[in-house]
Structure formats: C-alpha cells, structure tokens
Amino acid sequence: MSTTPHTTTTPRKILVLGATSGIAEATCRIWAFQGASLFLVARNAEKLAAVAADLKTRGASYVDTAVADLDDTDQHPALLAHAVNSLTGMDIAYLAHGILGDQIEAERDFNTAAQILHTNFVAPVSLLTWLANFCVQRRAGTIAVISSVAGDRGRKSNYLYGSSKAGLSAFLGGLRNRVDREGVTVLTIKPGPVKTAMTANMPKSEKFADVESVAESIVSAIDKRKDILYVPFQWQPIMFIIRNIPERIFKKLNL
C-alpha cells in the first residue's frame, strides 16, 4: 500500500460505487490512509459495514454508506444526490460495480446474457450520465471507471463480459471527449486478471496481478489525471497485439 499521505490540506471527497469489490476495497484503503472522505455504496449490508469500519480505523476522515442495488437505475438520481449531500461535494467518483457472469449459461439463455449487459453497461451508463452532468455544472471532478482488457476484443471464453466492457469503454471514450473541455477528467481503467474474491475460482488465479499493486496504479492514474490505464502496464502491448491479429487467424484461436 502507498505510504504517502495526500498533500492537500482539505480531504478529498470520494464516492465509491461497488465499494466491496476487491479492487475497490484495496483502492479505498489507500485513500483512507490519505485521510479522504468516503461515501461507499454496495449491495451487501454486512460486508459494506465491515469495509466502512476498516477504513475508519485506517484514517479516513469521514465514512458514510448506502446499501443499494445498483442494477436498479430508477434509484440512481436519489442515491447519487444523497451521496453528494453527505460528502458536501464530490472530487472523485469511482465506479467499480460489475459482474463476470456465467459465459456458458449466457450462450444458452438470453436473460443471463441481458443481466451481464445490464449490470456492466446499462447501469453504469445511468450512473455516469448523472455524475458527468454534476461535474460539468461545477466544471471540476474526476470520474474513474473500471472497465477491462476483455473489452478490447471479443473472445469465445468471455465475449458476453467482454462485449459489456467494450460498450462501457466506448461510452467512456465519448464521454471524455464531451466533458474534457469542461474541466472534468474521465479515466478508463482496464485491468487484466486480478487476484480477488471474484476470480478466486478461475484457473491459474494464483498468477493474477496483486490487487494492492493494481490499486496503487489506479490512485496514481487518478492523481495524474490520465485518460486510460492498462494495469498491470504490460497489458497495453499485449492487447495491442491481440487487437491486430487478422480475423482469419483470430477466429481459429482457442482464447
């Protein structure tokens, strides 16, 4: 974990959506050490309370929470307004909400496929629309969103998850193009496989990236107001190669 406290005198006000995900928890631990004010949103009340208590002991200057199903887009405006009021503003919105889903089941059943697309794309678009308009009105703010390298090219092993992240990455690119001139930063985060509870049962998960290192890279990218972050960094050249494999060859690969 980073051992460098944030240098500003006023604690940053950070909204975290999907706060009990492994990457979000690790990122929040860094922000807590820096003395940030945090508003955490997640679905699991018991786990959310445990995360909030841990962040308070680690130095967060303020922690508030809301239990919510972020798939329910009708609740988003009231939820986000409540979070901003609780923080008395917002410097950073960090969206870590998402699911891997069951690729095999999604190939058989459209409802399963639709759920993956809703959680990973439709619901984030609802949240980001509100958050972007809030930041534009104030001509300030950073919106950091976890997408995935899986969105760079569809593969048979996870193309439902990948297509949801491809749509999210495209949306973020367009949003960035719209709001950059308004003083708002949009960061697209593209992790490769990371060791978290969500990936614990995946083959070769012991070789996945360390979540604490990934979190440090995310905090650094936000501080530097970057546009796109591949993390770990080697995924950027790897995905460049994968994106440029001719389709006549790619379709025969077992990926």
* The predicted structure's pLDDT at residue 255: 84
The 10 Å CB-count burial string (b at 16+, else e) for 3-33 is eeebeeeebbbbbbbbbbbbbbbbbbbbbbb
Residue 89 phi, psi (nearest 5): 130, -175
pLDDT in tens, 187-205: 999 999 998 877 777 777 7
Q: Give me the catalytic one of 94, 159, 161, 230.
A: 161
Name the β-bridge partners of 13: 37
Q: Which helix (H) or strand (E) holds 94?
A: strand 92-95
Low-confidence ranges of the chain (pLDDT < 50): 1-3, 6-8
Q: Is-catalytic flag, 62?
A: no
Full-model pTM: 0.92
The total of other beta-carbon atoms located within 10 Å of residue 61's CB is 15
